[in-house]
Structure 1
Amino acid sequence: MWNVKGPYQGGVWKIRVELPDAYPYNSPFIGFVNKIYHPNIDEMSGSVCLDVINETWSPMFDLVNVFEVFLPQLLLYPNPSHPMNGEAGALMMRDHNTYEQRVKEYCEKYAKPEDAGQATEEKSSDEELSEDEYASSDEAVAGQPDP
């Protein structure tokens, strides 16, 4: 768990991690389970657009790097010029204050500790995971604020 400064501070997210058979030679799939407003995170699927995970992954990296370096840096330094969420990217470039307000609204609405715990339960009632899919994924909670 990590505490992020800036507009995401105080948000708690459940992160879906899927390890491919060729891990660590192939990168893991990383996705946010509960909603987050961010230029480089798809709002619907939670998929993360981050070069170091998607394109330049190295077997030298591990999940500790993902949770302690890559994701906190992504939240601190979004890249609005290569968005997965075009609306968030455009808003960040056009009106940074309104963008930060929208991030805070999403944190208050979707990223409370109980949201991170309930998101998977809601999803599992909507769509069944096969045993293979369930066995190949792991989830972690990220972003819990300091007490």
Structure 2
Amino acid sequence: MVDFGRVQKELQECSRDMEASGIKIAPVSDNLVHLSGTIPGPIGTPYEGGTFHLDIKLPDGYPFEPPKMHFVTKVWHPNISSQSGAICLDILKDQWSPALTLKTALLSVQALLSAPEPDDPQDAVVAQQYLRDYQTFKGTARYWTENFAKTSSLGVEEKVQKLMEMGFPESLVRSALEAVGGDENMALEKLCSS
């Protein structure tokens, strides 16, 4: 059974340090087993300036079992699946300890953004690019950060409006944007090719 008292305490501690760390955790539902986490992209990395959202589910055995986390925000990184957002990080698997908290887990994920482990990849394609052509990797990671992790980019409604002005029907525009994670250019390509 999840220790809800502990989860409450962890959420309070995290919100107290939010100014300093930039890390946020909030319940998605009333039952505290489904949470949403936010980490800022580390400074000096291609992820700088981005805000990354993670989905967190607590197993019944928490804190004796690790939380299940994956990125909701698309991210280009050797240890994070560009498709599913799955994270390859030892403390989220066999190196978890009940002494760790949700905040330390998110700090570890943030540290992973700064220090990829391409030899133990979650996404082989990204890892190969990281190892063989670091400049292209950096450019792609920065591009994904700009497109998916920047909150200042155009809102969904503005994108829908813009694409509808080009003559596409609203329902198609919305489904195209949804299919490509809100990337306006990719949505336009999809609309033009359908």
Task: Tell me, yes or no, whether TM beats 0.5.
Answer: yes
TM-score (normalizing by structure 2): 0.57
- Structure 1 residues not aligned, in runs of 5+: 127-147
Deviations 1:50-109 (A, max 9, x none): 011112100000111012x30121000000111111111000000111110010010111
2:113 match: 75
| Aligned counterparts of 2:125 and 2:118: Cα–Cα separation in 1 | 10
Deviations 1:3-40 (A, max 9, x none): 51211101112110000010000000111102100110
Bigger relative contact order, structure 1 or 2 (CA pairs below 8 A, ≥6 apart): 1
Deviations 1:95-136 (A, max 9, x none): 111110010010111112268x98xxx9xxx9xxxxxxxxxx
Secondary structure, counterpart of 1:113 in structure 2: coil
Task: Give the length in aligned residue pairs.
Answer: 118
State percent identity of aligned pairs: 32
TM-score (normalizing by structure 1): 0.74
Is residue 91–residue 105 contact of structure 2 (8 Å, CA) maintained in 1?
Answer: no
| One-letter amino acid matched to 2:71 | F
| One-letter amino acid matched to 1:42 | S
- Return the index of the structure with the highest Cα Rg: 2
| Aligned counterparts of 2:95 and 2:105: Cα–Cα separation in 1 | 13
- Computed over aligned residues only, the root mean square deviation of the Cα atoms, in angstroms, reads 2.1
